[in-house]
Amino acid sequence: MSFKAYFLCCILLLCVFWSDKNDGESDSSLIAPLDIPSTPSNASPTAENTLAVILPVTTTSLPNLRHILQPIVHPESASTRLREILLVAQDYDLPGLRATLFIIMSQIQFARHVHCSIRSWKYSHTESQALVQAAISSSAEWLLILDEHGLLTFDSDTQISLLNPPAVLVPLGPRGIHSSRNTSCLRRSKSYQQASYLIPPFVMPKSMTFQVGQQARSWGVFGIHCSSILNQGTSVGGLLLPQLTGTEPDMSWCMMNEQPVVGISSTPMTSQSLFEEWADDISPLVSSNIIPSDDPPDRFGIIFSTIGDLEWFAPVACSLSERGHTLQIALYESSSFSTGSDYLDLSPCMLSYETLSTGESPSKWLARTKGQASVVITLAEMTDLFEGSSRASIISIPRRDLQRTSWMSSLTSQEWRDWNVPQVTLSVITKDRPQSLARLLASITNASYYGDQLDIRVNLEQSSDLATMTMVQNLHWNHGRVFVHHRVIHGGLLTAVAESWFPHSNDSYGVLLEDDVELSPLFYAWIKMTLLRYRYGSNREKHPQMFGISLYQPKNLELDITGRRPFNVSHILHTVGAPLSSPYLSQTPCSWGAVYFPEQWREFHDYLTMRFSESAFELAQVVVPNVRSNQWTRSWKKYFIELVYLRGYVMLYPNFPEYVSLSTNHLEVGSHVKVRSKEKREMFSVPLMKLGDEVDLLNLPDRSLPKWSLLPVLNLTGVPTTLGKLVEFGMSRYSALGLCGKQEGTLDMHSFC
Ligand SMILES: *[C@@H]1O[C@H](CO)[C@@H](O)[C@H](O)[C@H]1NC(C)=O
Ligand SMILES: *[C@@H]1O[C@H](CO)[C@@H](O)[C@H](O)[C@H]1NC(C)=O
Ligand SMILES: *[C@@H]1O[C@H](CO)[C@@H](O)[C@H](O)[C@H]1NC(C)=O
Ligand SMILES: *[C@@H]1O[C@H](CO)[C@@H](O)[C@H](O)[C@H]1NC(C)=O
Ligand SMILES: *[C@@H]1O[C@H](CO)[C@@H](O)[C@H](O)[C@H]1NC(C)=O
């Protein structure tokens, strides 16, 4: 017989109200271990009569309901999977919905096994909460969650895929969001793509709703919870269905969601590899080109005291999560007295965290969490709670510094792991300028050290005055030890600088500071960021030509034989096609605030010994042709320049707009400076980078320090060149000076001959 079976709906219409008996609950035991099939396309199809469609109906969509239901229930396209339709509406729309549905039933055919019922949308619920609540009440195993437009805007391929989904325990749908730095709507391609979360329509196993049902305040939050079920904190909350037909994907939905449309040109992953990666418990994000290739996914533990701490650190945490790292976040002494899970909603970034009960120490929590974190970031104030608890690198940041951490979002996981390796010493050289020294010491005390321990060495000349000596005696330093050295026979600046610091290991770094220098509160952040990038992480021991890091940006070229001239590196970077904001490498050593590296500093000592002993050639010998430093006397820099030239060494320089620097020089009368005019001061002093400045440390191309190979290189007179050429010039000068075959201390004279 011709079964015009809309009667089922009509029957249900009479008893539609969802009573809260929730008989689905007992199913929850069925879903425990997740078993991700190798690909959605070769996954087995879902069984017949197992799919529920959840459709919200609003005042605006109600008049169109017949049209909306048509492609879902139409006998030809309706799948045999379809078991029931749940219409979800606000109380004030319910009478209208019942009446409309009654009429519709008489107009269109429903496949005969399809039930249709109405669920009420609680006034206080968001759409996602209302739909997920309704979904939980369904008796089907698979859910197709729609928005108020149903499947209307989709091509028939997409409609068919959604109504006949494969049996994969992952949300699948045509609209996905990728929470990258800026939220982006994903553009469908020929293959499956991973999304941070999906927005309706999408299909998912009902089993997932039991675990995330209470946390569906938005589809973003829902996606986060889906992803945590899928695989312990991956940032993949669903898969974007491939677009099979060649038509341009419709992105208008994206505007509706107030998301900027960004077509992510991801290298299409095959669904095979995508699932393999899941199986390996790593969490690549959608577009693999966002993850720096030297930043393999890693696990981070983040444990602070209050939600306020986490908020300060959130930019860094979100960036870690965006790059595919797994974060486990906990708060230890929350003022809120509540324990359990919650999340910090910084849409599109969601940070889920646990609040620990008073009985549970951070160490215990770390041990309890799945998978071992390789880096644990915590408050310096909480460090004691971690004694001997973990083989992770523990990074303890004082609360005061948390708000100055945004630069850390550029660090790779390997750089984080190496956080505690470099040891920096501040070496101050002073004599009789107490006001200058006071300014330098105040700027040192005022800077952020992010919980690191740094020793200070103060080197007092024989002729130091009483005021200077007293000031040094009264120096309070909370971040390490203070060592004071006082000379008994006048040594001069060359000796004072050369002897002010000496490395004790290859991880020991000296910041040389003459007393007319002043530092930015962020100077150490710059040092830490650049050291970790170019000396540690994936660059360990890869760049032996680098001898230091400058804090200062020069406004003048000093070394040209024709005299000093103004210097604006942007012009040079422009000619070589480098980004104008790129830091660069230069052979010129900086003496107005810079870090020197252990290998070259040791070599410098040997070089000075060789030079002053005149064992290889006379003291008056010109080593570097045509540079002004040849006329300098008693200058340590003159000799350092020689070493740098012979070896082809380079120093990293910052290049922030308007010469904004991490140190400046006040050009005070002293060994170098005889007259101090305003004009002259302006030639040398530069603005210091301040906290909350428009210019921050990530004012860099792509907001991260460039790859080594992309750094522009300048020679001593400011002409662009290459590292290879510098070595070549040095070598030929080396042998021309007859240095080959000579040995002086550990100064290896053979290596370049
Ligand atoms: C993110 O969006 C902001 C504001 O829309 C924009 O200024 C910025 O350049 C964007 N950043 C990226 C990485 O796209
Ligand atoms: C210390 O840092 C604060 C914040 O940047 C700044 O306002 C203040 O001027 C600094 N004080 C000194 C002595 O440098
Ligand atoms: C330190 O570096 C020097 C020069 O590169 C090298 O010869 C030496 O072996 C290193 N020392 C250690 C302990 O690694
Ligand atoms: C340096 O040159 C760049 C590019 O020509 C220019 O935009 C910038 O203002 C210059 N900087 C200064 C401080 O003159
Ligand atoms: C820097 O390179 C330019 C161009 O090759 C050259 O003329 C100049 O002598 C070089 N400077 C030094 C100190 O070698």
The end-to-end CA distance of the chain, in Å, is: 99
Q: What is the CATH number of the domain that holds 542?
A: 3.90.550.10
User: Is position 718 within any domain?
Assistant: yes
Return the H-helix or E-strand segment holding 478: none
pLDDT for residue 324: 77
pLDDT for residue 16: 34
Report the 10 Å Cβ neighbour count for 481: 11
Distance CA 612, CA 606 (A): 10
Q: Are residues 121 and 170 in the same domain?
A: yes
Nearest bound ligand to the CA of residue 625 = 5
Cα of 445 from ligand 2 centre, angstroms = 10
Return the H-helix or E-strand segment holding 379: strand 375-379
Nearest CA to ligand 4 atom 5: 571
* HSE, side-chain direction, 13 A CA sphere, residue 485: 19
Return the H-helix or E-strand segment holding 511: strand 508-514
Nearest CA to ligand 1 atom 6: 182
Q: Are residues 406 and 552 in the same domain?
A: no
Beta-bridge partners for 550: 594
Taking Cα atoms as reference points, which of 611, 616, 666 lies closest to residue 640? 611
Rg of the chain in Å (alpha carbons): 33
Task: Give the contacts of 88 (CB within 8 A, at least 6 positions apart).
Answer: 54, 55, 56, 57, 118, 119, 120, 121, 130, 131, 134
pLDDT in tens, 21-58: 333 333 332 222 233 333 566 677 777 888 999 999 98
Q: Are residues 180 and 53 in the same domain?
A: yes
Distance of CA 666 to the CA centre of its chain: 36
With beta carbons less than 8 A apart as the criterion, state whether 425 and 454 touch. yes
Number of domains in the chain: 3
Distance CA 733, CA 642 (A): 10
With beta carbons less than 8 A apart as the criterion, state whether 498 and 604 touch. yes
Mutate to test the pocket of ligand 2, among 403, 446, 518, 663 (most ligand atoms within 8 A of CB): 446
User: Is position 692 within any domain?
Assistant: yes
Ligand 5 environment, Cβ below 6 A: 626-627, 715-717, 719, 721
**Boundary residue ending a domain (360, 387, 411):** 411
Beta-bridge partners for 345: 350
Mutate to test the pocket of ligand 1, among 179, 180, 182, 262 (most ligand atoms within 8 A of CB): 182
User: Is position 261 within any domain?
Assistant: no
Phi, psi at 629, each rounded to 5°: -65, -15
Distance CA 511, CA 597 (A): 9
Residues of the chain short of pLDDT 70, as ranges, are 1-42, 75-79, 111-112, 180-183, 211-215, 231-234, 246, 254-294, 334-339, 370-371, 387-390, 670-676, 741-753
User: Is position 708 within any domain?
Assistant: yes
User: Is position 286 within any domain?
Assistant: no
**What secondary structure letter does DSSP report for 406?**
G
Phi, psi at 657, each rounded to 5°: -60, 150
User: Is position 751 within any domain?
Assistant: no
User: Is position 469 within any domain?
Assistant: yes
Q: Are residues 513 and 608 in the same domain?
A: yes
Residue linked to tokens 């229930």: 73
pTM: 0.67
Q: Are residues 434 and 382 in the same domain?
A: no
Report the 10 Å Cβ neighbour count for 681: 14
Distance CA 54, CA 162 (A): 12
Our answer on whether the CB atom of 568 is closer than 6 Å to any ligand 4 atom is yes
Q: Are residues 407 and 479 in the same domain?
A: no
Q: Are residues 243 and 342 in the same domain?
A: no
Report the 10 Å Cβ neighbour count for 725: 12
Nearest bound ligand to the CA of residue 182 = 1
pLDDT for residue 458: 97
Helical packing angle, 127-136 and 219-231, nearest 10°: 50
Mutate to test the pocket of ligand 4, among 557, 565, 568 (most ligand atoms within 8 A of CB): 568
Tokens of 186: 């994903």
Taking Cα atoms as reference points, which of 588, 641, 633 lies closest to residue 492? 633
Q: Are residues 390 and 430 in the same domain?
A: no
Q: What is the CATH number of the domain that holds 220?
A: 3.90.550.60
Task: Give the contacts of 72 (CB within 8 A, at least 6 positions apart).
Answer: 53, 55, 78, 82, 85, 150, 151, 163
What's the domain range around 64?
47-253
Q: Are residues 458 and 352 in the same domain?
A: no
Cα of 677 from ligand 2 centre, angstroms = 26
Our answer on whether the CB atom of 289 is closer than 6 Å to any ligand 4 atom is no
Report the 10 Å Cβ neighbour count for 400: 11
Cα three-residue angle 447-449-451, rounded to 5 degrees: 145
Cα of 446 from ligand 2 centre, angstroms = 6
User: Is position 352 within any domain?
Assistant: yes
Cα of 604 from ligand 4 centre, angstroms = 35
Task: Give the contacts of 636 (CB within 8 A, at least 6 positions apart).
Answer: 493, 494, 497, 498, 591
Cα of 599 from ligand 3 centre, angstroms = 7
Distance CA 539, CA 415 (A): 9
* HSE, side-chain direction, 13 A CA sphere, residue 370: 8
Q: Are residues 243 and 387 in the same domain?
A: no
Nearest CA to ligand 4 atom 6: 570
Q: What is the CATH number of the domain that holds 353?
A: 3.40.50
Ligand 1 environment, Cβ below 6 A: 181-182
Our answer on whether the CB atom of 614 is closer than 6 Å to any ligand 4 atom is no
Distance CA 178, CA 348 (A): 9
Q: Are residues 316 and 435 in the same domain?
A: no
Q: Are residues 355 and 381 in the same domain?
A: yes
**Boundary residue ending a domain (411, 443, 475):** 411
Write the CA distances from 191 to 174, 263, 408, 483, 701, integer angstroms.
11, 14, 34, 63, 31
